[in-house]
Structure 1
């Protein structure tokens, strides 16, 4: 694994995803009908929209960059980089809507970047592990999908903010687990060739996990976009995604990071800083037009 080489690919992936997700949200809101309730009809309108399809193509580029990063680095290092999508999405949204970020938005970005930067500095190059049995990967995927389905049903009838945030959080749960499946499939292909992904459970299980979790994450993300504003759905997604990736990376791939009491304490502070920044960016506010005061 090469931490220095993997890092740029992980950052590039987050940048592409961050730009693409703003476009997807805008199209989802523009094509929503009535009360903007999530529906299969709404998803069908999306897949017929050329701008949305272009944004999905951007996601494909981001996914390729992420696969490359995970092939070169570990999940516990690469997956936390997804939080960079938040400041990128803020910048792209401001340009698109011709508004200026509030001062508090800059503070939120600082919290996210500082928390992430310190965490990555402490982790460095994590110790390499090994992929657990296919049965463990399958159980993890089933648990995540079952939890995502249960939580999505549990918020039926709640207000838009709660439903949008829950759809976003469950999408993050799927995407965080997806990264583990990508890493497992990449290791299998490197060890035994690409054909091994189709000839036995060690390849088929992570490959099927990629398809199912990726599809589920995309559907849940688009449902969240139909329901609520980006500043309510995206932070929930990005709060759950890296935590899921780090936990499953340690449990299912045995990727080891320093775990002394001092390290754990600083990890907690990093998480608090990133979470505080995420919450600050998620606060609803009136847009500040360019040329107007940016008091936040």
Structure 2
């Protein structure tokens, strides 16, 4: 129950923080796309700082949840951040939820429930060896790099979707390394944590993820980026959990079927919610470009 509450609390902070960050990032110059200058511009905006604070709180709660629970359990729960983002966006826009919104809510909730109940995620006897560890890590990181490179050639809305997808993969890796850091602290103590590479990896990946997310938020409305981000993170986290952290799920035919249906429902629910009219539209790219040229 404690892990459940921590993960849902993390989802709440993340969802609210993402909305505030996108409202600020939409006002940033388009020329800052995928540049660290973007972060320098954003730190001058109070609403972005509030959103960043909420996101950090969410990541901290998620880290505590990961220290005591499996990645395969925590990740589906944190995917519900879109529900909280929808709630804030609906309050800001006064937009009714409608059938598509309620359908997204239902699919996301049922998908998370189906995956957790059918899979019964639990820790295994040991983690994978170094070869498998780096193979899974490299595949997920490599996909994130390829998506980011491909996004440069596309129109703004497609850029936002692909860069957010890459950010979701990166955050899934960050969650997996956070879980490893928690295990190191439990086994060796806090003093020995920084003799390992994982905490530094968490920092580098976290900074990279922030840049990717803000670049995605800058390029297009939230409905173009948040679904990709929210769907990719739990999938990457689950892949890492099973791939090299030693997480286990039930492998019977019936259990695997329900788990697959649950993950599919999560993805479809995320897409429906993310594309709902209540999601803030942000500032049109043409207006932002015009403002930049005027400056």
Contact 2:151–2:162 (CA under 8 A) maintained in structure 1:
yes
- 1:118–1:55 Cα change, 3 Å: same
Of the candidates 187, 192, 195, which is equivalent to residue 191 of structure 1?
Answer: 187
Show the counterpart of 1:213: 205
Conserved 8 A contact 2:140-2:236? no
- Deviation per CA, 1:174-216, whole angstroms, max 9, x where unpaired? 11111110111100111010111122xxxx2211221121111
Question: 1:286–1:123: structure 2 CA closer, same or farther, 3 Å change rule?
Answer: closer
Residues 1:18 and 1:286: Cα distance change in structure 2 (over 3 Å): closer
In 1, are the aligned partners of 2:119 and 2:249 still within 8 Å (CA)? yes
1:233, 1:242 → 2: CA distance? 15
Q: How many residues align?
A: 280
TM-score, with structure 2 as normaliser: 0.87
Partner of 1:28: 25
What secondary structure, in the 3-state scheme, does the structure 1 residue paired with 2:174 have? helix
Structure 1 alignment gaps of length 5 or more: 289-296
Taking the TM superposition and a 5 Å limit, the aligned residue runs for 1:1-296 are 4-29=1-26, 31-33=27-29, 39-132=35-128, 137=133, 140-199=136-195, 204-283=196-275, 285=277
Q: Which moved more, 1:144-153 or 1:134-143?
A: 134-143
CA distance in 2, matches of 1:125, 1:36: 41
Using the alignment, how far apart are the partners of 2:278 and 2:5 within structure 1?
34
1:91-135 residue CA offsets vs partner (Å, 9 max, x unmatched): 111112233223211111111111111211223351344344567
How high is the TM-score relative to the length of structure 1?
Answer: 0.87
- Name structure 2 gaps, 5 residues minimum: 281-295
Q: By how many angstroms is 1:250 displaced?
A: 0.8
Aligned equivalent of 2:284: none
Secondary structure of the corresponding residue to residue 157 of structure 1: coil
